[in-house]
Amino acid sequence: MHTIPTSLQGLRMEIGKGSVSIELSGMATVAAPMLLSILLIGAVYANPENSQARKSFKGYQVLSVRAENEMQIEYLNLLQQGPEIDFFQIPSLVQRTDILVPPTKLKEIKKSLRKMRMPYEVINQDIETTIERERQQIRGKAANDIWTNYLMWENFELWLQERSQSYSNMIQLKSIGKSREGKDIWQVKVAANANDAKKPAMYVECLAHAREWITGSVCLGSIDILTTNYGKSGSLGDQATLMLNKFDWYFIPMMNPDGYNFTKVNRLWRKNRKSNVVSSCPGVDLNRNFAADWGGAGSSSNWCSDTYRGDSANSEPEAQAVIAAVAEAGDVRSYLSIHSYSQLLLVPHAYAAIKAPDYNELKNVGDIAMLALRQVNGVNFQVGHGPEILYAASGGAFDYFKLNGVKYCYVYELRPSSGSGTDGFILPASQIDPSIRETFASFFSFADQIPA
């Protein structure tokens, strides 16, 4: 366990451009790459309380609804256009849709739902209470333990730096570009031996959507399992060894660092932090920004919408960085886009009611991977075509890579299932460990099934 030495308390550090600039209270600023190694040995994990006023969700309720006809879908789509109502899922005829309603709108929305003959269930009476409980949990746990705690942006970066130092024979940590606000977008390449020739690549992308914290944990946990178990005995050892003997694994554990950092202020922030023409409505939905039927169904041209697709296809630096990185990796066999929540595995394409030419093959491989996932904790993930089991969504990263020659492309929607309870994006930290283990089991299954 790393604890903060009292002499270093009040220390503020910024990691960027490969060096660390450190300010100690009452002392001169030291720009010192050298100090990086010192810090990484007795790593200093900050307790990042922020000074910016936090958005309160007091009195906000989560209503779970089920649309049963096209008119009800139309109504929900209309509702989604407004900035006040936050949709946790895209309106669909086959899945429940959970919507977050501010206290000022509750009466009106409930009344109109009744008018539309759409039964609703209040699954969270006050989401601020849930957010506050999570804050307490995070404070009470080690700020660097990826298995029991969510790491905030600073600690997340620090963990990556530390891990790449201690496993320099297996990990290449690389900044593949800068976010809108100039933060690094990190890529972690895990290989059996960093000096080996390139193997076919498997890509795993996490935290494109800022509030989906569990996805970042799954990326970090998978890096942890691969590095600590490669070449060892036991079932995780066998799995890690096969995975790394067959493929190089590339993780983009935090595709949207600006948005993720902003979730300290607004826990339910989804987009990046681009300034839009309407300054009160910043952000682009990175998973609607890619050139895969960009501008089509399930995305919005409205800056204030949570599914705002951006000014043009691939306009966002975060999307551009990932596209360039995947191109550089060369022979990429799989692109797994990790999201939450709904317990689904989506098979391309999501952007329209057309299936990829090899859909049936991809569906079979996905079914087997989700069987492996279920065997760990009994959690069930539905596998299928986005527009059938969810709804069409254009501009997604996985569709972009599918269209550009990567064969095995999938979207995960992790725990919990929609309409199932109060947690949603605010998944209790006690579910980090089981989520990592079950998702990793499915990564192994993909590695096992996909030819090298």
CA angle 205, 84, 270 (to 5 degrees): 10
Residue 352 structure tokens? 């329209």
CA angle 321, 327, 333 (to 5 degrees): 120
Residue 211 makes contact with Zn ion by CB under 5 A: no
Interface segment toward Zn ion; rule CB under 5 A; list 8-16, 75-83, 203-211, 311-319:
203-211
Least gap, CB of 339 to Zn ion (angstroms):
3
Residue 209 makes contact with Zn ion by CB under 5 A: yes
252 half-sphere exposure, CB direction, 13 A CA radius: 32
How large is the angle between the packed helices 359-377 and 432-449, nearest 10 degrees? 140
14 counts as catalytic: no
Tell me how far apart the alpha carbons of residues 385 and 347 are, in angstroms, rounded to a whole number.
5
SS3 383: strand
Tell me how far apart the alpha carbons of residues 26 and 20 are, in angstroms, rounded to a whole number.
18
Tell me how far apart the alpha carbons of residues 156 and 251 are, in angstroms, rounded to a whole number.
13
- Contact letters for Zn ion, residues 86-115 (x by CB under 5 A): ------------------------------
Least gap, CB of 212 to Zn ion (angstroms):
5
User: Tokens 């987009």 map to which residue?
Assistant: 271
Least gap, CB of 209 to Zn ion (angstroms):
3
How many residues of this chain bind Zn ion (CB under 5 A)?
Answer: 2
| Between 346 and 379, CB nearer to Zn ion | 346
Least gap, CB of 268 to Zn ion (angstroms):
12
| Between 67 and 397, CB nearer to Zn ion | 397
SS3 67: coil
**What is the DSSP code string of 351-385?**
SSS---TTHHHHHHHHHHHHHHHHHHH----EEEE
Interface segment toward Zn ion; rule CB under 5 A; list 109-117, 249-257, 335-343, 362-370:
335-343
With beta carbons less than 8 A apart as the criterion, state whether 314 and 403 touch: no
| Between 209 and 288, CB nearer to Zn ion | 209
Q: Where are the alpha helices (DSSP H) in 204-311?
A: 213-229, 235-246, 257-262
The correct pick among 96, 246, 273, 339 for binding Zn ion (CB under 5 A) is 339
Least gap, CB of 298 to Zn ion (angstroms):
12
- Contact letters for Zn ion, residues 160-199 (x by CB under 5 A): ----------------------------------------
Residue 288 makes contact with Zn ion by CB under 5 A: no
Interface segment toward Zn ion; rule CB under 5 A; list 3-11, 115-123, 206-214, 362-370:
206-214
**Which residues make beta-bridge pairs with 188?**
173, 251
Residue 207 structure tokens? 């935290």
Q: Which of 162, 316, 413, 438 does the annotation list as catalytic? A: 413
User: Tokens 């689904």 map to which residue?
Assistant: 344
Interface segment toward Zn ion; rule CB under 5 A; list 57-65, 101-109, 182-190, 204-212:
204-212
Least gap, CB of 287 to Zn ion (angstroms):
6
Return residues touching Zn ion (CB under 5 A): 209, 339
Active-site residue numbers?
Answer: 413
